[in-house]
Structure 1
Amino acid sequence: MGRELSVVGGGVVGLACALAATDAGWSVTVYDAGPSTRAADVAGGMLGCLGEGHPGEDRLLDVSSQSASLWPDFLARLGDPAVRTATDSVLIGASSTDLAYLDDQVAFVRDRLPAAALTRSTASELRRAEPALGRGLVGGYLAEGEGAVDNRLLIEALTEALREGGAQIVEAVVDDPTALPGEHVLIAAGLGSAALAAVAGAPVPVHGEKGEILRLRRTRWSVPPPSHVIRGRRHGRPVYLVPRADGVVVGATQYEAQGPDDRAPQAVGVADLLTDAIAVMPGLSSYELVEVAAGIRPCSADGLPVVQRIDDRVLVATGHGRNGIALAPWTASRAMGLLA
């Protein structure tokens, strides 16, 4: 009783950790520097691990699988069914080479997760599940249980749950986490976590990877948004289409950021995303392009999230890369274990 925790960072990871602590009886204050600092504001919101498993990332797949098992209870805790936008995914290749890549990816996942619900399917079979898929595609897989959330509704639901639980959310930029009140301090400030950890005496090496997303809105003349997450591969380039209530989020570009303020979308990335998305789902050509944005994801050297103690008082949770939202429940669980 009477335990106090200050959380630096108002993104999904920080809010998820804060909610876990609030539910455990901690008095929690979240210091949020605003939407421009959140990688989660520029995200597709894909969950699970089946479509994200890549050969060589064994430990990351294990962590992702553990987090995927925690998502049903996590969503139930939030209590807002609108947060979830899809329950299954389609993995599809535009050519035989693209499909061979997916075959290798799925073989890796099945080797570590034998019970993975991945069904090899022809393009025609996948079109029966998702009729708006293009005719020029070769085939792929249906990934059951591999869903998605609306990233911005998720942040709203986490914020509401925290306030209802008695947590305080303060809009503030923190320069020195050791000056914050409370028995413990959790640094979960994305790319900014490295500098804050250095102030606390233990630098955490993370680097920024930039990625664009597009938000497309359905018009009265458009085909409906997909009911599945669509993970396409075309000419070796990945592209994903993630359902929203009024359209889709398109993404998948990923490259080294040129600094913490490198948030301007690049023309070539946007062009590739639009070209590949429309090839995978031609009906998107009648959608409205309502947002183009770029975000910077904090990445560790080995691709694994950094969730650890800096000292007896300060903890850090960062380095999630492209999996920040998917790994939020796992991170919250691990952070609570460290606090315990």
Structure 2
Amino acid sequence: MQPLPSRIETLTVVGGGVIGLTCALAAADAGFSVRVLDAGIGQRAAWVAAGMLGSLGEGHPGEEQLLEMSASSARRWPDLVARLGDPTVMAAADSLFVAATAADAERLRTLADFVWARQPRAHDDLAPVTPADLRRLEPALTSRVHGGFRAVGEGAVDNRALLGRLRDAVVAAGGEIHDRHVEDLADLDGDQVLVAAGLGTRNLLPDIAVHAVKGEVLRLRATRWSVPPPTHVVRARMHGRSVYLVPRADGIVVGATQYEPFDEASREPEVGGVADLLTDATDLMPGLRTYELVEVGAGLRPVSPDGLPVIARVDERVLVATGHGRNGILLAPYTADRVMALLDTVSGDVTSAAGKKNSC
């Protein structure tokens, strides 16, 4: 990376979610005077999330570029956790992919073949497992499974703990965090401005095309009679639907539905999605019936037209990082590195963010 131009000294970040805070921390570590303007927890998609870091699990035919980007970011996560100085932010180290039926197993095999073809190193990290293997690794799973895969290194973080650790790290590095809603970028101080405001980016940069995808996430708490949470992230295909179980210190996060909402103003969970998640989760792990349902949340995630995050310069002063969809936490360290590279190019050619030429 080339030295920063001497005239760039301050960075204002609009957005206090995982993307904005990770970029702010990278900039503070690079010597910027950083200020984060946070619209509040209620605006953060990361608050309603499971924190999965599974790049191999995100491999789908037609999403080759996203797979490569996700794998690159996953390799950066150990360094970010080390930078935060708290390994307990990790909720799990590995993932299990579980199939409920023969058809589900074939679907998982198709996805694994795609990942192996695009990521040769994945042969060492993504390996088939039998039903007996699954029961040995996670005894509380139902015996009615058709096998699956184990992904070594495909873990998860505690998303809410992560937000707290990132905020603390930014402040400890000399950054400032303010509760402030931004309506006009022209009102902001700072040599450079990064807009990482999720769906709110559209209000500040109308040319950035992102739309909302809604998803429900459940939080379950173990009781004195409950079986323990899994030690792995468990990602299952249950009769054609997807469900995942992600451990927490006091229970499990269950997720997640994904659909385009009729009304983006509504952040309330829908009955059908919650019912499907509970049905599939308890079929997968029958002992969950003794857990307490302590939270039902719904989040709106910003998605770009091609499904890739928009990480680009808008002009010589303004940058944007949005459109991460379901992968916002996973892609945070990759995004921070891209933003730092873009900060280095302020005196060079400006690429249109709307054109997406600099999006990956």
TM-score scaled by length of structure 2? 0.92
Picking from 37, 42, 45, the partner of 2:43 is 37
Question: Could you tell me how far 1:178 is from its partner in structure 2?
Answer: 2.5
- Counterpart CA distance in 1 for 2:19 and 2:263 is 22
After superposition, where does 1:316-331 map in structure 2 within 5 Å? 316-331=320-335
Question: Could you tell me how far 1:138 is from its partner in structure 2?
Answer: 1.1
- Counterpart CA distance in 1 for 2:137 and 2:151 is 11
- Counterpart CA distance in 2 for 1:4 and 1:251 is 39
- Counterpart CA distance in 1 for 2:32 and 2:54 is 29
Partner AA of 1:104 in structure 2: T
- Counterpart CA distance in 2 for 1:272 and 1:307 is 34
Question: Could you tell me how far 1:179 is from its partner in structure 2?
Answer: 1.7
> Which residue is equivalent to 2:226?
222
Is 1:282 equivalent to 2:290 in the alignment? no
- Counterpart CA distance in 2 for 1:22 and 1:12 is 15
- Counterpart CA distance in 2 for 1:130 and 1:273 is 19
5+ unaligned residues in a row in structure 1: which ranges? none
- Counterpart CA distance in 2 for 1:269 and 1:113 is 33
- Counterpart CA distance in 1 for 2:62 and 2:320 is 25
1:265-308 residue CA offsets vs partner (Å, 9 max, x unmatched):
00000000000011111111100000001000000011100000
Picking from 280, 285, 307, the partner of 1:303 is 307
- Counterpart CA distance in 1 for 2:143 and 2:228 is 17
- Counterpart CA distance in 2 for 1:15 and 1:150 is 16
After superposition, where does 1:233-272 map in structure 2 within 5 Å? 233-272=237-276
- Counterpart CA distance in 2 for 1:322 and 1:298 is 8
SS of the residue corresponding to residue 308 of structure 1 reads: strand
After superposition, where does 1:114-133 map in structure 2 within 5 Å? 114-116=120-122, 117-133=125-141
Partner AA of 2:314 in structure 1: I
1:216-264 residue CA offsets vs partner (Å, 9 max, x unmatched):
0001110111000000111110001011000010002000023432210
Picking from 26, 33, 42, the partner of 1:27 is 33
After superposition, where does 1:1-340 map in structure 2 within 5 Å? 3-116=9-122, 117-198=125-206, 203-340=207-344
Distance 1:4 1:82, change over 3 A: same
Q: What is the number of equivalent residue pairs in this alignment?
A: 336
1:102-141 residue CA offsets vs partner (Å, 9 max, x unmatched):
0000000000111111111111111111111111111100
Partner AA of 2:280 in structure 1: D
Question: Could you tell me how far 1:81 is from its partner in structure 2?
Answer: 1.6
- Counterpart CA distance in 2 for 1:219 and 1:261 is 35
> Which residue is equivalent to 2:3?
none
- Counterpart CA distance in 1 for 2:261 and 2:195 is 22
- Counterpart CA distance in 2 for 1:225 and 1:252 is 17
Partner AA of 1:288 in structure 2: E
Partner AA of 1:277 in structure 2: A
1:311-337 residue CA offsets vs partner (Å, 9 max, x unmatched):
000000000000000000000000000
- Counterpart CA distance in 2 for 1:269 and 1:251 is 10
| 1:178–1:314 Cα contact (<8 Å) kept | no
- Counterpart CA distance in 1 for 2:88 and 2:94 is 16
- Counterpart CA distance in 1 for 2:186 and 2:208 is 16
5+ unaligned residues in a row in structure 2: which ranges? 1-5, 345-360
- Counterpart CA distance in 1 for 2:154 and 2:193 is 33
Once the two structures are overlaid, the 10-residue window that deviates more, 324-333 or 109-118, is 109-118
Once the two structures are overlaid, the 10-residue window that deviates more, 18-27 or 45-54, is 45-54
Question: Could you tell me how far 1:52 is from its partner in structure 2?
Answer: 1.1
- Counterpart CA distance in 2 for 1:52 and 1:183 is 36
1:150-209 residue CA offsets vs partner (Å, 9 max, x unmatched):
0000000000001111101000100012321000000000011122112xxxx1000000
